[in-house]
Structures are given as C-alpha cells and as structure tokens.
Amino acid sequence: MVTVTLLKVEDLSISFGGLRAVSGFNLDLKPGELVGLIGPNGAGKTTVFNILTGFYQPQEGRIFFDGTEITGLGCHKINRLGIGRTFQNIRLFNELTVLENVKIAYQYAGRYSWGDAIFRTRVFHRHEKEITDWALSRLDIFNLAGKADEIAKNLPYGEQRRLEIARALAGRPRLLLLDEPAAGMNPQETVELLELIRWLRQEFSLTILLIEHDMSLVMKLCERILVLDYGMTIAEGSPEKIRNNPRVIEAYLGEEVS
C-alpha cells in the first residue's frame, strides 16, 4: 500500500554536552493524521519539536517535509514551507496587539517592498488590507476578533493559548506542532480546546503533532501515540495499545495512564 507521507523523520539524534536528549527518533506522519507525543518530563519531546522546526541542528538523522529534505534549514524557512508551532510556555509578542501578533505570522505572504512601505504606495495599502483582513478572519475563528487591539500580554491565560494557535495558523501551515496546548487550562477549557483542535484539523486539512501531559486529552484526541523516554521511542501505536503497554506504565510509574 502506498501512502503519501507529509513528514518523514529518520534516525534523529541530538546530544547536549554528553547527554543524549533524543536518540534514533523515527516518525512518519500521513496527511491529516493527529498524532500525540507523550513521555515523562525531560524525555526529549520539546527537543524533537525544536529540531523539526530548525532551532536545533540534529547531529544525526534526516527530516523530509512533503518530499523535500529540510534538515539543517533555517527556522523561518521551515516555517514558510508549512510547519507552524506553538510553545510550551506561551511565547507571544507580549507588548504588541493581538492583531499584530497574527499579522506578523502571515506577513511574508503579503509581500511589498521597502519602497512601497516608505512611499505608502497603492501596493502597500492593498497588501496591508489583505494582511489585516486575513488576520482578523483568523482571530474570528478563535473568538478573539473583539480583542484585536488589546495588548497580547493583557489577555487572560486561556485566550493567550488560543492566540498562540491562531498565530501559528496564520502562516497557513500544513503541519501544526502543538506543545502542551492544554497546559494550565481548567477542565472546561480543555474540553473546548479538544473540540477546537478536531475542528481545525477538518477545516484546514491540517496534520497535527501534539505534545501533551493531559492523558485523557491525548487518549481522546489522537489516533496514534508515540511515547518517548530518555530520548528514545519506547512505544508507538493506538491509544488502546499505549494504555496497556507495560513499558509505558513503567516509564510513567506512579503517574496515571488513563
């Protein structure tokens, strides 16, 4: 059976000063999949994200996105190829407005030159309007359009999380990496988030890879789960299989896996 792979990761390894943070990591993501990446603290999950998005250069291994190799490419280039992400501890452009946050992520799409900007040409106004409209439409999806002119850091926590996802989506990614999107949310907000992620995947035909500590969320949401421990993949499979995997239970010793 031939299936197209959107993201293919082969034997990824990286170590920091002798500590092997990720070792021999493999991953195949098919278009439209929703895959969870779990594991105890310090297992190397965020490091995987950082390698995929170009912040770290892996010492071994290769990454292919949609058939092209992206290993070693700069962060912004990887983003522009269609990989968007959020951060574990929210990293908004704090002092900028909600609207500006989203506009920044989309702006390379609406290109106008320095001359257009300086002389405020017709091209400038047209593209600016396009960027603003697009950004507002993204905010609308996340119920944030009413807060477009607020300073990002003044938003309540849950809205900051939503804004981060809105910002990641503004660049029209095909693959979305979510790093603990539910962290710090109350159960009600988590349920809403779950609905939102499902809906986003449908609406924008996204492929999603997600790191999450909230096990119930992961189990409900993901079709496939990878478990990392000490930088190595110790299990992979459906939520059902993962829940009953003895190695996973051992890795999470004391933590609840259901």
Partner 1 sequence: METEKTTGLESHTQAQTAEKWRKYLLPVGLLLLFLLNILIFMEKFGFNFVNRYYKGILILTFINIILAVSLNLINGITGLFSIGHAGFMAVGAYVSALLSINMGEWGFLPPQIQSIIEFPLVLILGGLAAAFAGLLIGVPTLRLRGDYLAIATLGFGEIIRVVALNLGITRGARGIPGIPNHTNFWWAQFFAVITVVIIWNIVRSNHGRAMAAIREDEMAAEAMGVNITYYKVLSFTIGAFFAGLAGGLFAHYLSYIAPRSFDVLKTIEILLMVVLGGLGSITGSVIAAVVLTALPEVLRFLQAYRMVIYAGTLVLLMIFRPQGLFGRAEVDLTVFQALKSRAAEKTKSQPGERGGNGDSA
Partner 2 sequence: MSQLLQQLVNGLSLGSIYALIALGYTMVYGIIRLINFAHGDIYMVGAFVGYFALRGGLPLPFAFFLAMIIPALFGLVIEFFAYRPLRNAPRIAALITAIGVSLFLENLGILVLSPDPRPFPQVLPDKSIISYGDVNVSLTQFLMIVITLALMVLLTLFVHYTKTGKAMRAVSQDREAAQLMGININRIISVTFVIGSALAGAAGVLVGLYIPRIEPLMGVMYGLKAFVAAVIGGIGIIPGAMLGGVLMGLAETLVTGFLASTWRDAIAFGLLILILLIKPSGIFGTSSRTKV
Tokens for 248, please give them. Answer: 């996973």
Interface pattern 62-81 for partner 1 (x via CB under 8 A): ------------xxx--xx-
Interface pattern 81-110 for partner 2 (x via CB under 8 A): ------xx----------------------
Partner in contact with 196, chosen from partner 1, partner 2, none, beta carbon below 5 to 8 Å by kind = none
Partner in contact with 44, chosen from partner 1, partner 2, none, beta carbon below 5 to 8 Å by kind = none
Tokens for 102, please give them. Answer: 């989203």
Number of residues binding to partner 1, judged by CB under 8 A: 44
| Residue 167 binding partner 1, by CB under 8 A | yes
Helices then strands, counting H and E runs in the chain, come out as 10, 10
Q: Give 172's Cβ-side CA count (13 Å radius).
A: 10
Q: How many residues does the chain have?
A: 258
Reference 205, options 181, 225, 176; nearest CA is 176
Binding test (CB under 8 A) with partner 1, winner from 171, 181, 231, 239: 171
| Residue 57 binding partner 1, by CB under 8 A | no
| Residue 204 binding partner 1, by CB under 8 A | no
Binding test (CB under 8 A) with partner 1, winner from 19, 69, 72, 117: 117
Strands of the sheet containing 232-237, edge to edge, are 83-85, 175-179, 207-211, 34-38, 224-229, 232-237
